[in-house]
Chains A and B, each alone.
Chain A
Amino acid sequence: MQFTIEVGRYNPDGIYAENAKPGAPYPPPWQQAPPRRYQTYTVELPEYAVVLDALIAIREYQDESLAVRCACRSAICGSCAMWINGHANLACKSKLTEFTKDGKTRVETPPSMPVIRDLVWDMKPFWEQHNKVKPWLVGKPLADPSQEYRADNSRMEELIQEVSCISCGCCLMDCESYAVNPEFLGPHALAKAFRYAGDPRDAETRERLGDYSKPGGVWDCTHCYECVAQCPKGVAPLEQILKLRRMAVDSGFTNNAGTRHADAFADSVKHSGRLNELTLMPRSTGLFNVVGQLKTLPSAFNMARAGKLPPLLHKSIPGVKRIKAIFERVGGRFK
């Protein structure tokens, strides 16, 4: 079969993540000036071929200047992660027939990452964020050092999902929070964080949870599920981030907008059966956070002027007693 591949080539004058203004959101692909240069190749391959087969065929027989990073070709090493038709994927796992759109397959580096050349992006930000979560086990001291540490099977089974991570970077490449906030630790690092914070043998779980609750941590995730959708190994980083949020709140790290938001949300649903938007924003921001409150005022004013403020008198749904009873029964700390 014949396949058309459009490859994003390196442009030394392009605006890439590494030369964006410090602190500014990385430029999205459509803002890159001069625009990214794409080069089109045609390759003849069997129907079962994957994107990586096409890239190797191009490099070997058509254009030796094309830079591609790959190793195992079996979705184990994670080297060939790249943007394929605008989303993160492993080139060795993506069948050309499934990734041909409008007669072609477009491959490029993700716009939120620095580029080394062509399809090779720099994993420096990936490892920098990864290293910030203390990605190793700090063992609890054993009463008898000659014995091994016996961990409960069920506790270790909870970690299996994260242990499957191959550090390919697909989740970070498509992470929406990281794209606008390079301070965010990222889905890969936080999933790894859960792997250790959730380990029964770890001695520093509490300290970890405190660190992960700081700005750039678990509460800076926007909950978009892109990382769950793009992970080639089923790690579901967002699910691990949510577990960390629960663990942190349960450990008493509650002085943050995330916890205030959840508390205000639960309070409103418990008492009226529905959300009270009027009190949610001020309560989440923190009633004594004057600067934060002031920042929300222009939007509140604009919405009020357009007639988009929720009714000042917040009404309960009929049968709200049922909801209160459910909260009483299974509400946990929201009781």
Chain B
Amino acid sequence: MRVAFYPGCVSKGACPELYVSAKAIAEPLGLELEELTEAPCTGAGVLSEQNPKLADSLNGLTLAMAESKGASLMTICSTCQGVLSATNHHLKTDTERLAGVNATIGDQGYSYAGTTSVKHLLWILFEDVGLDRIRASIKRKLTGLKIAPFYGCYILRPAEYLGLRERPERKTYLEQLIGLLGAEAVEYSGSTKCCGFPMVTFNRDKSLAMGGNHILEAKDKGADLLVTPCPLCHLNLDGQQPDAARVLRKDIGVPIFHLPQLLGLAFGYSPEELRLDHHVVSTKGALGKVELKV
């Protein structure tokens, strides 16, 4: 399957391990990635809250780029997914808004007809690749690992933009995938909650307490690691975890995996190939449970 690949800024910036692992797992999954190298940042909700017209135009341009390639747009970030899904919803349902965007991006040689579908890798796994192909690619079962899913807000809310009313099963894909890879999914209330990242620059301690509390809950329920389809969650949950531990005055020490890293591990890639040795919180303990070392 050919997809217009939208890696997002963070996988090219502070989470290079996400980009590397996403590229690695594409082949066994039969995903042909055509990267949208000229597509801009989505604005991560920051630009849309200040200037909806600007955000519409930037994201409309990205949607038009994918449309011109005749492929679905694939994201690997819950935040990119949420912002692009919201714009796509508005442009598909509001002809005036679409005309406004086309007037702006028309000068740049693009026009959007409203036909692109925006899908996170997580959705593509279940809805396009299929479980049989995933099963066939598994070379190493992750038996013995207890994994807590952490979705990230923007792949879950608001439901109407993300097609969750038509496809409520999207809210359980992470749990299903963890089971499929041979591991056990940890049930806890934090899985659908906020990592705190959007306010880390405004109210640092509260933001870190928010994320830290969710990891502690998962740890309390026996999780060896958390897996997330959102690199912004990863930045707060992994990158800032030692600071969160200081704020909460608790020992945390739970590694956070990106979704493609978990898949890659099951597909037989080495931890180094997936850059699992480039995390702030050591992945050693969790990898040891499946007899791997970094």
Contact = CB atoms under 8 A, between A and B. Distances in A.
A and B associate: yes
Q: Which of A180, A246, A281 has the most CB of B within 10 A?
A: A180
A327 interface: yes
B31 interface: no
Contacts of B220: 30
Contacts of B15: 308
Interface in B186-214: 188-189, 193-194, 196, 198-199, 201-204, 206-207, 209-210, 213
Contacts of B9: 274-275, 277
Contacts of B188: 30
Q: Which of A181, A257, A330 has the most CB of B within 10 A?
A: A330
B280 A261 contact: no
Interface stretch (B89-97, B141-149, B239-247): B239-247
Main secondary structure of the interface of A (DSSP, over half): helix
B99 to A, nearest CB: 13
Contacts of A79: none
Contacts of B189: 28-30, 86
Contacts of B203: 181, 215, 219-220
B61 A322 contact: yes
B288 interface: no
Interface residues of B, number: 63
Q: Which of A275, A276, A307, A329 has the most CB of B within 10 A?
A: A275
Contact of B104 (A219, A284, A318, A330): A330
A181 B209 CA distance: 9
Contacts of A327: 54
Nearest to A285: B201
Interface string A295-335: 11011001101111111000001110011011101111110
A28 to B, nearest CB: 5
B57 A219 contact: no
A310 B104 CA distance: 31
B118 to A, nearest CB: 17
Contacts of B45: 223
Given A222-B196, A257-B201, A266 B279 contact: no
B158 A176 contact: no
Interface stretch (A122-130, A139-147, A161-169, A225-233): A225-233
A265 B43 contact: yes
Interface residues of A, number: 71
Nearest to A174: B193
A303 B280 contact: yes
A290 B209 CA distance: 22
A186 interface: no
Given A319-B38, A334-B51, A229 B108 contact: no
Interface string B1-33: 000000001101111110000000000000000
A177 interface: yes
B201 A224 contact: no
B20 to A, nearest CB: 11
A216 to B, nearest CB: 9
A302 B280 contact: yes
A36 to B, nearest CB: 13
Contacts of A181: 203, 206
B259 interface: no
A325 B37 CA distance: 18
A188 interface: no
A299 to B, nearest CB: 5
5 contacts: A257-B201, A261-B201, A284-B201, A303-B14, A306-B278
